[in-house]
Amino acid sequence: MDRRSFLWNWGGGLGGIALASLLGRDALAQARSEFNGGLHHRAKAKRVVQLFMSGAASQCDTFDYKPKLIKLAGEKWDPGEKVELFQSNPGVVMPSPWEWKQYGQCGKWVSDLLPHTATCVDDIAFLLSLTAKSNVHGPATFQQNTGFILPGFPSAGSWISYALGSVNENLPVFVVLPDPRGMPPNGAGNWSAGFLPASHQATTIRVGTPNPIEDLRPPASARFITKSSERDGLVLLSKVNSQYNAERPGDSRLEARIASYEMAARLQLSAPEVLDVSSESDATRRLYGVDEAHTADMGQRCLVARRLLERGVRFVQVWSGADNGFPRRNWDSHENLAKDHGELGASLDKPVAGLLKDLKARGLLNDTIVYWTTEFGRMPCSQGSKGRDHNPFGFASWLAGGGIKGGVTYGATDDWSYKAVENPIYCYDVHATVLHLLGIDHTKLTFRHNGIDRRLTDVHGHVIPELVS
């Protein structure tokens, strides 16, 4: 008798039964048709695309217009209290290097960094009073993704996958399209399933590379692997694993493993089609900027995101920017804001606007939530002569589609764009609102882990009614 059977059967088999029940998990929830695909109440949205600006995109250079910064440019900055910065002492008042204009019927002020996005303001709800619990990239990026500043918690996409399940069994429920320059801080931890069943972690697709989905196919160099050895090997594996799993009911990891092989087999067929954008019209390609050098990457990824969404992927997360290294490859513009924010803004402005317009034209925006966010903002004072340091006290996000009221602004910072003073919120409130639109009550979507009924929103979060149409 081997160790495993010994442990399993000791005590008349009670050990095994106890283990199985300890491993037992809540039955996977599924979207309810009587709730229009929601879980607890009627859903307005069915899917989400999140655009994550890695490195901290500056609110006072995008959506938070403050004439005071222009008026007092160059003067010593004194907000009347000690300012907690990340790596500098407060510099002088530094207005945005970009001019500002008003757009749309709502008259929203948007900087010249994002003129294409600005044409969509009447579909967008701007959130200008976000705050974060950390001014350090890693913890803050975890918080925006999982609701906690510590690693090990499930991301929003994983919670939604767990809550609503799949629409298209040939594609993953949760897909991440990282920046080709590299992973953001925390890497795959940002889209981890945490303690939820492992099948809810994201599938990473590196759009534009020769091998977008890692290890989807056997290495060409392994000559002992053939089509038939694959086919029969998977059948054998499935038989063996099913027998093994039947003796260990309730361990979701085992089931997730079987599911992942089946998904991989389906992905081998479905992935090439969804990633092939050559069938898109010239007009669509122009809309996203796919064929212009500076927008080609984001354009292609936003276009692939739309294709994934329309084929039933529930949560697509597109990253703008990689890690915080130097030379700068994300939004962490400590040294040269005009150059680094400038390049990133130009790379994504047209593609993001294109995505919004394309979703709208295809009738998808009504039930697709578009969620633009970042881990924190930047200070209105200078760092060095041309940079901005971290600001977790007041920053911007926006939402559009899926039942979100367009042309509105919620919350405000002070005259400096320093601190959120009117309706300060955390990402918990955004998450609660997003879940609400998906037909999920954020207080009822729980998972028992280590004796706690865990939530994406922890013990926080309120749905923001002003955002819901």
Partner 1 sequence: MLNNGFVVRMSEHFAERLRQISTDPNQQLDAAARLALGRGLTAKEQSMYSAYARQYGLENLCRVLFNTNEFLFVD
Strand intervals (E) in 330-389: 368-374, 377-378
Question: Are the CB atoms for 161 and 39 separated by under 8 Å?
Answer: no
232 binds partner 1 (CB under 8 A): yes
CA 35 to mean position of chain CA atoms: 25
Q: Which residue's entry shows tokens 């050895």?
A: 229
Question: Are the CB atoms for 155 and 432 separated by under 8 Å?
Answer: no
Give the shortest CB-463-to-partner 1 separation in angstroms.
40
Give the shortest CB-180-to-partner 1 separation in angstroms.
22
How far apart CA 456 and CA 156 sit, in angstroms, is 7
What is the SS3 string spanning 91-119? CEECCCCCCEEEECCCCEEEECCCHHHHC
Choice from 85, 92, 106, 216 touching partner 1 (CB under 8 A):
216
What contacts 159, CB < 8 A, 6 or more positions away?
A: 196, 200, 435, 445, 456
Interacting span for partner 1 (CB under 8 A) from 71-79, 216-224, 319-327, 412-420: 216-224
215 binds partner 1 (CB under 8 A): yes
Choice from 88, 119, 245, 336 touching partner 1 (CB under 8 A):
245
How far apart CA 191 and CA 140 sit, in angstroms, is 14
Residue 41 burial by Cβ neighbours in a 10 Å radius (0-12, 13-18, 19+): middle
**Coil, helix or strand for 193?**
coil
233 binds partner 1 (CB under 8 A): yes
Give residue 240's identity as a one-letter amino acid code: V
The tokens for 105 are: 């019927």
Smallest Cα–Cα separation from 195: which of 456, 461, 457?
456
Size of the site for partner 1 (CB under 8 A): 35
Give the shortest CB-183-to-partner 1 separation in angstroms.
18
Give the shortest CB-187-to-partner 1 separation in angstroms.
18
In the complex with partner 1, the residue whose CB is nearer, 246 or 293, is: 246
Choice from 3, 278, 281, 283 touching partner 1 (CB under 8 A):
3
DSSP secondary structure, 12-36, as one string: TTHHHHHHHHHH--PPPP--BGGGT
What contacts 77, CB < 8 A, 6 or more positions away?
A: 90, 91, 92, 93, 380, 381, 416
Choice from 8, 52, 126, 426 touching partner 1 (CB under 8 A):
8
Interacting span for partner 1 (CB under 8 A) from 46-54, 83-91, 225-233, 440-448: 225-233
Site string for partner 1, 259-298 (x = CB under 8 A): --x--x----------------------------------
Smallest Cα–Cα separation from 316: which of 446, 178, 170?
178
In the complex with partner 1, the residue whose CB is nearer, 134 or 245, is: 245
In the complex with partner 1, the residue whose CB is nearer, 228 or 281, is: 228
206 binds partner 1 (CB under 8 A): no
Site string for partner 1, 139-158 (x = CB under 8 A): --------------------
Q: State whether the Cα torsion 142-148-151-152 is positive or negative.
A: negative
**Coil, helix or strand for 448?**
strand
How many other C-beta atoms are found inside a 10 Å radius of the C-beta of residue 235?
A: 10
Q: Which residue's entry shows tokens 């865990």?
A: 454
In the complex with partner 1, the residue whose CB is nearer, 73 or 236, is: 236
Residue 201: phi and psi, rounded to 5, are -75, 160
188 binds partner 1 (CB under 8 A): no
33 binds partner 1 (CB under 8 A): no
Interacting span for partner 1 (CB under 8 A) from 258-266, 271-279, 301-309, 363-371: 258-266
Choice from 17, 236, 361, 452 touching partner 1 (CB under 8 A):
236
Give the shortest CB-108-to-partner 1 separation in angstroms.
48
Choice from 42, 76, 239, 362 touching partner 1 (CB under 8 A):
239
Give the shortest CB-446-to-partner 1 separation in angstroms.
26
The tokens for 53 are: 């600006």
Question: Are the CB atoms for 121 and 160 separated by under 8 Å?
Answer: no
218 binds partner 1 (CB under 8 A): yes
Interacting span for partner 1 (CB under 8 A) from 117-125, 138-146, 147-155, 231-239: 231-239
253 binds partner 1 (CB under 8 A): yes
Choice from 12, 80, 210, 219 touching partner 1 (CB under 8 A):
219
In the complex with partner 1, the residue whose CB is nearer, 226 or 469, is: 226
What contacts 2, CB < 8 A, 6 or more positions away?
A: none
Choice from 237, 272, 326, 448 touching partner 1 (CB under 8 A):
237
H or E element: which one contains 239? helix 227-246
> Which residues are near partner 1 by CB under 8 A?
2-5, 7-8, 19, 215-219, 222, 224-226, 228-229, 232-233, 236-237, 239-241, 244-245, 248, 251, 253-254, 257-258, 261, 264
